[in-house]
Amino acid sequence: MCEREGGGQSDQWILGGKEGEAGRGCRMLDLPFLPFCVLLGGLGFVCVAFVSAWCQHWRGGFAWDGSAQMFNWHPVLMVTGMVVLYGTAALVYRLPPAWSGPKLPWKVLHGTLALVAFGLAVLGLVAVFRFHNHNGTPNMYSLHSWLGLATVLLFSCQWLAGFSAFLLPWAPTWLRALYKPIHIFFGSTILMLSVASCVSGINEKLFFSLKNGTMEYKRLPTEAVFANTLGLLILLFGVLVLGALARPSWKRPDADSPDSCQVLALPTPLLAMDYLHQLSGTTNVYWGYMRRAATSLVTTGATEGGAQGPVAPQLCSPSSTARSTAATATAPGSGCSSRAELM
């Protein structure tokens, strides 16, 4: 398996610790992120265009009056919000400009895109509930409706928890570190559930609509080919977003480094001393020595007491501390510091 050396500071790819033929092969396979983004953006646009064209051309267009035309807003808003915009929001931190400098603007962008996606999803749900109520159709009877509503509810919890943990200033660092992997896990899960909801919704709509003799679903009329293709394009979009999220070379450098636990294992006074030391700009041997000794104490204490944070203390070796400190001092906010990563 290919790994990146130095937690992403260099673009060296290594295989088993040494760069060899396979390592060079790995580097050649490394697809640049920006062309991929253009491709994905195009695919997202095609998904929205397809769902709109389906509703406009075959399902009678759009209105906001409780009629079948009002229902048509449901697929368009759900695909646009829960898949395309949501997927875009998920990839914000993979943009190379987000790797350096302050993380706050990227967090605000990520949160705002997700909020807009959520707003569109709520409108999409209003459209289908009003259509059902207007026509006396029962609500929430199908598997699609259960899956869809569960996805939107999970999304709302994810947004609120993410906002509270990462954007409100008073969330403690240990809580952010504890919650971050959970947020990442549910982020991908919600995207998968959204894709599943869309695919099941398209299928259901086709079964409802294509019933009469010449237009039977099993005869595969043009509408069915078109909507089936839409389902596959949505699936492809979701798979590509999940693939991009999982790709190590597109992650913000040091996002998974053990150094990331450093801030958890060090008590606040030590971090404050670190900060003052960086401000003074001095590099003295005694400081390094004292700090290493203090960190060893903290690490040992954490191993014994187990109360220093949620990450295994043995990961926080003195050498990784020194590396982390050096990185913070030489490239503040470059993304290699654990504090920058968690904040």
Let me know: does 198 contact 204? Beta carbons within 8 Å: no
Let me know: does 264 contact 312? Beta carbons within 8 Å: no
The DSSP annotation for 3-22 comes to: EEGGGGTS--EEBTTB--HH
* Distance in angstroms (rounded) separating the CA atoms of residues 239 and 249: 17
Coil, helix or strand at residue 155: helix
Kindly tell me which of 205 and 252 has the beta carbon lying closer to ligand HEM: 205
Kindly tell me which of 173 and 209 has the beta carbon lying closer to ligand HEM: 209
CB of 225 to ligand HEM, least distance (A): 15
Kindly tell me which of 78 and 165 has the beta carbon lying closer to ligand HEM: 78
Kindly tell me which of 79 and 266 has the beta carbon lying closer to ligand HEM: 79
Kindly tell me which of 195 and 264 has the beta carbon lying closer to ligand HEM: 195
CB of 117 to ligand HEM, least distance (A): 10
Residue the block writes with tokens 């999803």: 121
- The amino acid at residue 148 is G
* Distance in angstroms (rounded) separating the CA atoms of residues 156 and 148: 13
- For residue 199 the two structure tokens come to 């695919």
Kindly tell me which of 54 and 166 has the beta carbon lying closer to ligand HEM: 54
- Interface contacts to ligand HEM, rule CB under 6 A: 74-75, 78-79, 82, 125, 128-129, 132, 139-140, 142, 144-145, 148-149, 151-152, 194, 197-198, 201-202, 204-205, 208
Task: Count how many residues are written for the chain.
Answer: 343
CB of 141 to ligand HEM, least distance (A): 6
CB of 100 to ligand HEM, least distance (A): 34
CB of 71 to ligand HEM, least distance (A): 7
| 137 DSSP assignment | P
Gyration radius from the chain CA atoms: 25
Kindly tell me which of 82 and 165 has the beta carbon lying closer to ligand HEM: 82
CB of 203 to ligand HEM, least distance (A): 8
CB of 136 to ligand HEM, least distance (A): 11
Those residues with Cβ within 8 angstroms of residue 9's Cβ, 6 or more apart along the chain or in another chain:
253, 254, 327, 336
CA 310 to chain centroid: 22
